[in-house]
């Protein structure tokens, strides 16, 4: 059927173009071709994803990719997106799939909160010379330390991070082997953790990276056996994901290469389907059972993380999860990324992470169980200021996914689900995958964490705080701007000037 959808981008080529065909080579979507008979580069803007790979790699800087200027008659109710989604569904009869986090203009609360700084009444601290500590412990803390040596001193297992930023779950299979390795290397160099997602851990990586790996147990149980669970610093039970709360996952067969298949322990080329729920968890006491089973199989040596999407009842859910024995609670907000999700779910289900952190933290404090677990917040953390604000709202640390991908080259073109990632990140195509150099990518990631850590120290110093733990839940360091009364209430912060 002929598609009636307009192209999203226009490709313009200046006279500098010397027909070197680099763009043709770089574009995995086939937007550039060379016409031999006319000695001319031909653009097919219908195929352009707007990933900017060709523009960056054009030796002459001759290519410019811009949003297509053509439009339908303006209509506040029937935007171009609504019209084109309907056309695509009319053409295919399918659920619309997309990649990356939601691009919808939900209020970004980070941008409506301002940080405090010391002036006169207490001194700000210069982090370049004074001690400034970002080390954080994630896990359950006992109510008190028993000094009797024999029985009670063995504390629950925990994770120690040198900076409160961890890489969130991105599975091998969804992302390329090179990207997966880059994350592992960067995590181990930066004193933090990467997360295997639900794709298992390639066996050759197990011994090298086990101290910096969080291994995930998700509903598909891919690549999971006792050995995998024991080759990790922590085990994460994934209940949900901010980009697609309440639904399962689906790695299409074409991404299940031989090595992905071996890592996931499934046959090559079959769909790897993750059911919507864990079918052994239909209830909170069942979660308690899976947490206990994982603690049993790891001999109570690893902290157990439970990751959920931020949804309406998140504070009650969080309370249940803590009571079910989770050591760490990971919450993923509505803007969280994904390799593939139904668009309608991504853009309509869940709540922003900022509100979720605040209400969960308050609920757990009210119930006196806040120290029984740590909170890792994710889904929309874009810069170091977001990290600081998340911790001031009550998180212990944050997960970054999209930011890490961008550091490696991602431009958020939202074509992850096609498996044709031009940057070699979200693909299993050997040719595309090679584009991502592991050393280069890991260096970019290390640099990002190091830059953010410096910035966090600067912000802490300004507040007159020299240890990150003094920021946690310190909402007094935040003021809202341009927020409604109810939003200030949920965030538990005052308005600017109050």
Which residues in the 79-118 window bind another protein by CB under 8 A?
A: 85, 88-89, 91-98
- Our finding on whether 371 is near another protein (CB under 8 A) is no
Minimum CB–partner distance for residue 9 and another protein (Å): 11
Which lies closer to another protein via its Cβ, residue 11 or residue 398?
11
CB 69 within 8 A of CB 86: no
- Our finding on whether 66 is near another protein (CB under 8 A) is no
Q: Which stretch binds another protein (CB under 8 A): 182-190, 259-267, 303-311, 404-412?
A: 259-267
Compute the chain's Rg from CA coordinates: 24
344's CB contacts (< 8 A; 6+ apart) are 95, 96
233's CB contacts (< 8 A; 6+ apart) are 159, 193, 210, 211, 212, 213, 214, 302
- Our finding on whether 211 is near another protein (CB under 8 A) is no
> Contacting another protein (CB under 8 A), which of 191, 275, 464, 492?
275
> Contacting another protein (CB under 8 A), which of 153, 155, 270, 447?
270
The token pair that represents 206 in the structure block? 């197990």
- Our finding on whether 252 is near another protein (CB under 8 A) is yes
- Our finding on whether 47 is near another protein (CB under 8 A) is yes
Distance CA 268, CA 257 (A): 6
- Our finding on whether 208 is near another protein (CB under 8 A) is no
CB 66 within 8 A of CB 52: no
Minimum CB–partner distance for residue 162 and another protein (Å): 28
- Our finding on whether 414 is near another protein (CB under 8 A) is yes
Q: Which stretch binds another protein (CB under 8 A): 71-79, 157-165, 271-279, 464-472?
A: 271-279
> Contacting another protein (CB under 8 A), which of 18, 126, 204, 280?
280
Minimum CB–partner distance for residue 263 and another protein (Å): 10
Minimum CB–partner distance for residue 303 and another protein (Å): 17
CA angle (207, 181, 102) in 5-degree steps: 130
Q: How far is CA 352 from CA 107, 348, 355, 377, 490, in A?
A: 8, 11, 6, 11, 12
CB 426 within 8 A of CB 175: yes
Which lies closer to another protein via its Cβ, residue 221 or residue 444?
221
CA angle (476, 315, 325) in 5-degree steps: 110
List, in sequence order, the alpha helices (H) in 99-234: 177-190, 206-209, 226-230
CB 477 within 8 A of CB 392: yes
Minimum CB–partner distance for residue 338 and another protein (Å): 13
> Contacting another protein (CB under 8 A), which of 303, 342, 350, 378?
342
- Our finding on whether 230 is near another protein (CB under 8 A) is yes
CB 138 within 8 A of CB 397: yes
Which lies closer to another protein via its Cβ, residue 25 or residue 365?
365
- Our finding on whether 455 is near another protein (CB under 8 A) is no
H/E segment holding residue 399: strand 397-400
């Amino acid at each position: 059927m002929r598609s009636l959808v307009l192209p999203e981008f226009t490709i313009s080529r200046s006279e500098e173009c010397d027909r070197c065909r680099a763009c043709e080579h770089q574009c995995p979507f086939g937007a550039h071709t060379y016409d031999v008979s006319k000695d001319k580069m031909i653009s097919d803007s219908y195929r352009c994803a707007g990933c900017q790979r060709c523009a960056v790699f054009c030796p002459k800087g001759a290519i410019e990719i811009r949003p297509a200027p053509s439009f339908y008659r303006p209509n506040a109710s029937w935007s171009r997106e609504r019209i084109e989604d309907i056309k695509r569904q009319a053409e295919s009869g399918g659920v619309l799939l997309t990649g990356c986090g939601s691009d919808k203009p939900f209020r970004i609360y980070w941008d409506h909160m301002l940080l405090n700084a010391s002036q006169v009444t207490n001194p700000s601290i210069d982090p370049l010379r004074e001690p400034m500590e970002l080390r954080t412990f994630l896990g359950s803390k006992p109510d008190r330390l028993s000094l009797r040596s024999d029985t009670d001193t063995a504390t629950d297992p925990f994770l120690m991070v040198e900076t409160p930023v961890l890489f969130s779950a991105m599975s091998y299979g969804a992302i390329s082997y090179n990207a997966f390795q880059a994350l592992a290397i960067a995590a181990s160099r930066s004193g933090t953790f990467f997360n295997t997602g639900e794709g298992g851990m390639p066996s050759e990586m197990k011994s090298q990276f086990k101290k910096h790996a969080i291994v995930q147990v998700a509903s598909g149980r891919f690549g999971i056996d006792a050995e995998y669970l024991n080759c990790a610093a922590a085990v994460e039970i994934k209940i949900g994901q901010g980009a697609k709360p309440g639904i399962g996952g689906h790695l299409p067969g074409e991404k299940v290469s031989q090595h992905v298949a071996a890592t996931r322990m499934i046959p090559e080329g079959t769909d790897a389907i993750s059911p919507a729920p864990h079918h052994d968890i239909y209830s909170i006491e069942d979660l308690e059972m899976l947490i206990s089973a994982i603690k049993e199989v790891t001999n109570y040596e690893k902290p157990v993380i439970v990751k959920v999407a931020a949804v309406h009842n998140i504070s009650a859910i969080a309370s249940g999860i803590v009571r079910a024995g989770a050591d760490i609670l990971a919450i993923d907000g509505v803007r969280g990324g994904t390799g593939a999700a139904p668009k309608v779910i991504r853009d309509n289900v869940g709540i922003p992470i900022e509100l979720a952190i605040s209400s969960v933290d308050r609920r757990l404090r009210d119930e006196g169980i806040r120290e029984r677990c740590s909170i890792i917040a994710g889904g929309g953390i874009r810069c170091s200021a977001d990290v600081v604000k998340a911790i001031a709202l009550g998180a212990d640390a944050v997960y970054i996914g999209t930011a890490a991908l961008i550091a490696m080259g991602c431009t958020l073109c939202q074509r992850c689900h096609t498996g044709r990632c031009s940057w070699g990140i979200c693909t299993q195509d050997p040719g595309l995958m090679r584009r991502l150099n592991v050393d280069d990518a890991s260096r970019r990631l290390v640099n990002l964490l190091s830059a953010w850590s410096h910035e966090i120290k600067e912000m802490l110093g300004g507040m007159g705080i020299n240890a990150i733990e003094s920021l946690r839940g310190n909402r007094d360091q935040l003021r809202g701007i341009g927020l409604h009364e109810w939003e200030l209430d949920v965030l538990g912060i005052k308005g600017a000037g109050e």
